[in-house]
Amino acid sequence: MSIIGQSWGRYPATEQIVVPIRDRHASLPVSDASMLPYGNGRSYGDSCLNHGGTLLHARGLDRYIQFDPLTGILKCEAGVLFSEILGLVVPQGWFLPVTPGTKFVTVGGAIANDVHGKNHHRAGTFGCHVRAFELLRSNGARLLCTPSENAEWFAATIGGLGLTGLVTWATIQMRRIAGPWMSAEVHRFENLEGFFEISEASDRDYEYTVAWVDCAAKGRSLGRGLFTRANHAPACPDQRPSSPARRLGVPFVPPLSLINPLTLRMFNALYYHRQRRPVIHATMHYEPHFYPLDGVRDWNRIYGPAGFMQYQCVVPPNEARRAIEQLVRIVAGAGGGSFLAVLKQFGEQRSPGMLSFPRPGATFALDFPNKGENTLRLLDRLDSVVAAAGGAVYPAKDARMPGRLFRQYFPAWESFTQYIDPRFSSSFWRRVME
Amino acid sequence: MQRVLIIGATSAIAEATARLYAARGARLYLVARNAERLKDIAQDLLVRGANEVDNAVLDVNHVDAHEGVLEAAWQQLGGVDIVLIAHGTLPDQMACEASVSVALEEFATNASSTIALLTPIANRMAASRQGTIAVISSVAGDRGRASNYLYGAAKAAVSEFLSGLRQRLGKQGVNVLTIKPGFVDTPMTREFKKGVLWATPEAVASGICRAIDRRRSVAYLPWFWMGIMLVIKHIPEAIFKRIKL
């Protein structure tokens, strides 16, 4: 069955055979084409695509194997979604150790991209909480990988973009919580300097920190935005929690992108000024705190048929202020800015992953409607800032970074290649190896 | 606490249904051919909240083995409240046309084995005077079509058998539910191109649970298939034989 495979950015368009995987004991399908595991398609670019090859659709590996409510250790198949795990563990007093901004990712995808979240400065990446997994290779070998057993395979597979083989199951350490509530504060900051001040003041006492930046603002307001910091709240919070919002959806792909310079400037200004007071406190359910966009089903359709491109980079601490300011200036100058501009400081904790993206410094995520050459040129300009600062770009969100820059950003790529399964490949990997 | 026996427990619809009962804290007894997959599913259901999960390996075409498995299930659960029969295959119609033995084998898997199971199950349920027997038939059993009439004939036999059984057991407090799914996206239908009429196993499973809870007689899943089949059933033969379905 050949289908047009899509990643979350709806760009690029590719075609591949999709083979459903439902039985973790079964061997991999036999085919001449190259294979790549595919979870729930939430990677933005082409790292989850394999044009002209086969996708091993592992979402069917959705069984739990064991959960111990005393220790919080979960063993499950690799196609289980974070949303399903939350449904299982939150009522039993546990939470995901690390979660990205969507709960619709699989465990296998989270390992392959070594995902991070708002608590990176405290907890590191998802890979830091993986205790073990099984790696199924195309030659039929099944490797039990832990930090001490097959340790080099463990390191290569965490952040290994699915290229080392198929992860069939994994064991993950959950984090204790008292209940589903979050106690959060939102601080308005006037400019980038304001962000770095509040970020440094917050990282010690707040488990989750992240900022939204108004990328349309210029001049003295350059880099203004809203800084959110939060902790898990006690079981019975002092403040009555607000009720969760209704779930909306984008029922079809509009013929044109609804995101254009005018709507962007309006949205950014409205969003920034919606909050009149410099600080607000709120007790809320974890869902709107962690997953505001999951409340709008298929939100990626608002960018129209051409899709969109994400750009997430990290720049080292000593270069962060200067580089982020340059990036915001380029985006603001390009007109319109970015609908979602997210800024956060990563912590020092190292991931076991060989090709892991997070590293100490400030990370900045942007998205742009795909306008072909114009967008690509803009992203090239961002790259020149990131490369000069000694930073890196996140493969899970990329559809265009030049191979030479990937190899500069991820110097471990060369030793990584020996762990790639000879029958595995991806559109991303072929692109950055050119 | 509901005691649930599922035959054909490794099928996608059965597994999705078992998860819903597990979340309610049910006690389950699973029957299927593949021991390893039964074990995977049993572990999963325990994590999802099932109170107890046991299983037995059975090929439904070995009719002589039925009674032993049923007895073990009844013993283990101390009686059964809900029986779900979910096993089945999707025969290759062309192969059934070419070979008598393939045709009879497929009919045995999809009809005779179900009738063989239902006979002792009906007697056991009648004796306890409560509970539900739910069987997955198909919309394909509502009218034979050139593209898969062996499957359609087998499912028609099951549906008609259930209709009679329902009349008989209704008086004894046992509900008999005929489940008629339309197109469901499962491994059984892997080769088909999927369109808007296709449902997920999860959606069908929640329809099954609802129909069992409400003691319904016949459930088309999703519901719109009732309208589609009503139309298809009423096309006169003179026209029906000329169209392609």
Report whether B80 contacts B131 (CB < 8 A).
Answer: yes
How crowded is the C-beta side of B77, counted as CA atoms within 13 Å? 27
Stated as kind and residue range, the H or E segment containing A321 is helix A320-333
CB burial readout A242-272, b (16+ within 10 A) else e: eeeeeeeeeeebeeebebeeeebbebbeeeb
State whether A145 and A26 are in the same domain: no
**Measured distance CA(B104)–CA(B111) in Å, rounded:** 10
Q: Answer whether residue A190 is part of any domain.
A: yes
- Our measurement of the distance from residue A404's CA atom to the centroid of its chain's CA atoms, rounded to an integer in Å, reads 23
CA distances from B168 to A125, B79, B120 (A): 62, 20, 14
Smallest CA–CA distance, residue A165 to chain B, in Å, is 22
**Measured distance CA(B226)–CA(B212) in Å, rounded:** 18
Q: Please identify which residue in the block is written with the tokens 């601490």.
A: A317
Q: What is the CA radius of gyration of chain B?
A: 18
Q: Answer whether residue A428 is part of any domain.
A: no
Domain encompassing residue A337: 181-409
Domain ranges of chain B: 3-240
The predicted structure's pLDDT at residue A411: 97
**Measured distance CA(A192)–CA(A203) in Å, rounded:** 17
A392-393 and A308-315 beta bridge pairing: antiparallel
Q: Answer whether residue A28 is part of any domain.
A: yes
Report whether B16 contacts B40 (CB < 8 A).
Answer: no
For residue A259, the domain's CATH number is 3.30.70.2520
Chain B residues within 8 A of A169 when measuring between CB atoms:
none
Smallest CA–CA distance, residue A236 to chain B, in Å, is 25
Task: Say whether A63 and B43 touch across the interface (CB within 8 A).
Answer: yes
Whether the predicted pLDDT of B210 surpasses 60 = yes
DSSP class of A434: -
Terminal Cα-to-Cα distance of chain A (whole angstroms): 29
CA distances from A251 to A42, A101, A296 (A): 18, 21, 10
Helix (H, G, I), strand (E, B) or coil at A83: helix
Tokens matching residue B185: 């996206």
The predicted structure's pLDDT at residue A297: 78
State whether A7 and A142 are in the same domain: no
**Measured distance CA(A278)–CA(A321) in Å, rounded:** 22
* Partner residue facing B47 (CB), from A1, A23, A67: A67
Report whether B141 contacts B220 (CB < 8 A).
Answer: no
Per-residue model confidence as pLDDT tens for chain A (434 residues): 445 567 888 888 888 888 999 999 999 998 889 999 999 999 999 999 999 999 999 999 999 999 999 999 999 999 999 999 999 999 999 999 999 999 999 999 999 999 999 999 999 999 999 999 999 999 999 999 999 999 999 999 999 999 999 999 999 999 999 999 999 999 999 999 999 999 999 999 999 999 999 888 888 889 999 999 999 998 877 766 666 555 667 777 777 777 777 777 777 777 788 777 888 888 889 998 899 888 777 888 888 888 888 999 999 999 999 999 999 999 988 875 677 899 999 999 999 999 999 999 999 999 888 888 989 999 999 999 999 999 999 999 999 999 999 999 999 999 999 999 999 999 999 999 98
Provide the Cα torsion A235, A63, B109, B5; round to 10°.
-30
State whether A156 and A265 are in the same domain: no
- Burial level of B117, CB count in 10 A (0-12/13-18/19+)? buried
Task: Say whether A1 and B190 touch across the interface (CB within 8 A).
Answer: yes
The predicted structure's pLDDT at residue A235: 83
**Measured distance CA(B140)–CA(B149) in Å, rounded:** 8
Last residue of a domain, one of A40, A58, A76: A58
Please name the amino acid found at residue A99. T
Report whether B155 contacts B111 (CB < 8 A).
Answer: yes
Report whether A187 contacts A229 (CB < 8 A).
Answer: yes
Chain B residues within 8 A of A65 when measuring between CB atoms:
40, 43-44, 47
The predicted structure's pLDDT at residue A202: 96
3-state secondary structure B59-93: CCCCHHHHHHHHHHHHHHHCCCCEEEECCCCCCCH
State whether A110 and A171 are in the same domain: yes
Report whether A49 contacts A16 (CB < 8 A).
Answer: yes
* Partner residue facing A66 (CB), from B36, B47, B191: B47
* Cβ-proximal residues to A397 (8 Å cutoff; 6+ apart), any chain: A9, A43, A44, A45, A310, A311, A312, A365
For residue A93, the domain's CATH number is 3.30.465.10
State whether A328 and A257 are in the same domain: yes
Task: Report yes or no: A88 at the B interface, CB cutoff 8 Å.
Answer: yes
State whether A98 and A238 are in the same domain: no
Report whether A209 contacts A202 (CB < 8 A).
Answer: yes
DSSP class of A293: G
* Partner residue facing A63 (CB), from B36, B44, B190: B44
Q: Where are the beta strands (DSSP E) in chain B?
A: 3-7, 27-32, 52-57, 82-85, 132-136, 175-181, 218-221
Q: Where are the beta strands (DSSP E) in A137-292?
A: 142-145, 166-173, 175-176, 181-189, 208-213, 225-232, 248-249, 279-285
Report whether A374 contacts A323 (CB < 8 A).
Answer: no
Task: Report yes or no: A4 at the B interface, CB cutoff 8 Å.
Answer: no
Tokens matching residue A151: 């340790």
**Measured distance CA(A62)–CA(B16) in Å, rounded:** 11
Span B3-240: which CATH code? 3.40.50.720
Smallest CA–CA distance, residue B165 to chain A, in Å, is 35
Neighbours of A292 (CB within 10 A): 15
Q: Answer whether residue A431 is part of any domain.
A: no
Give mean pLDDT, residues B217-237. 94
Where residue A339 falls (left for φ over 0; alpha for ψ -120 to 50; beta otherwise) is alpha
Task: Say whether B43 and A22 touch across the interface (CB within 8 A).
Answer: no
Q: Residues 7 to 46 of A: which have CB under 8 A from any B CB?
A: 20, 22-25
Q: What is the CA radius of gyration of chain A?
A: 21
Chain A residues within 8 A of B191 when measuring between CB atoms:
1
Of the candidates A35, A64, A30, the residue with the CA atom closest to the CA atom of residue A49? A35
Please name the amino acid found at residue A152. E
Task: Report yes or no: A67 at the B interface, CB cutoff 8 Å.
Answer: yes
Q: Which of A1, A57, A64, A68 to mutate to test the interface with B (most CBs of B within 10 A)?
A: A64
Tokens matching residue A365: 């995520």
Please name the amino acid found at residue A298. D
State whether A289 and A357 are in the same domain: yes
Tokens matching residue B114: 């179900």
B175-181 and A166-173 beta bridge pairing: unpaired
User: Vertex B198, ends B196 and B200: CA angle to 5°?
Assistant: 130
Task: Say whether B48 and A88 touch across the interface (CB within 8 A).
Answer: yes
**Measured distance CA(A362)–CA(A252) in Å, rounded:** 36
Chain A residues within 8 A of B41 when measuring between CB atoms:
63
**High-pLDDT (> 70) share of chain B, %:** 98
Number of domains in chain A: 3
Give mean pLDDT, residues B138-147. 95
Q: Residues 32 to 51 of B: which have CB under 8 A from any A CB?
A: 36-37, 40-41, 43-44, 47-48
Report whether B174 contacts B131 (CB < 8 A).
Answer: yes
State whether A373 and A239 are in the same domain: yes
The predicted structure's pLDDT at residue A105: 97
DSSP class of B207: H
User: Vertex A100, ends A351 and A285: CA angle to 5°?
Assistant: 130
pLDDT tens-digit readout, B86-141: 999 999 999 999 999 999 999 999 999 999 999 999 999 999 999 999 999 999 99
Tokens matching residue A147: 């930090």
State whether A172 and A242 are in the same domain: no
Tokens matching residue A400: 């265009």
**Measured distance CA(A244)–CA(A413) in Å, rounded:** 43
Smallest CA–CA distance, residue B1 to chain A, in Å, is 20
Structure pTM? Answer: 0.92
**Measured distance CA(A243)–CA(A61) in Å, rounded:** 33
The predicted structure's pLDDT at residue A245: 57
Neighbours of A220 (CB within 10 A): 8
State whether A220 and A367 are in the same domain: yes
Report whether A116 contacts A100 (CB < 8 A).
Answer: yes
The predicted structure's pLDDT at residue A278: 83
**High-pLDDT (> 90) share of chain B, %:** 91
State whether A54 and A69 are in the same domain: no
* Cβ-proximal residues to A205 (8 Å cutoff; 6+ apart), any chain: A231
Task: Say whether A25 and B36 touch across the interface (CB within 8 A).
Answer: yes
- Better-predicted residue by pLDDT, A283 or B205: B205
The chain B residue lying nearest A2, using CA atoms, is B193
Report whether A285 contacts A182 (CB < 8 A).
Answer: yes
Last residue of a domain, one of A177, A202, A229: A177
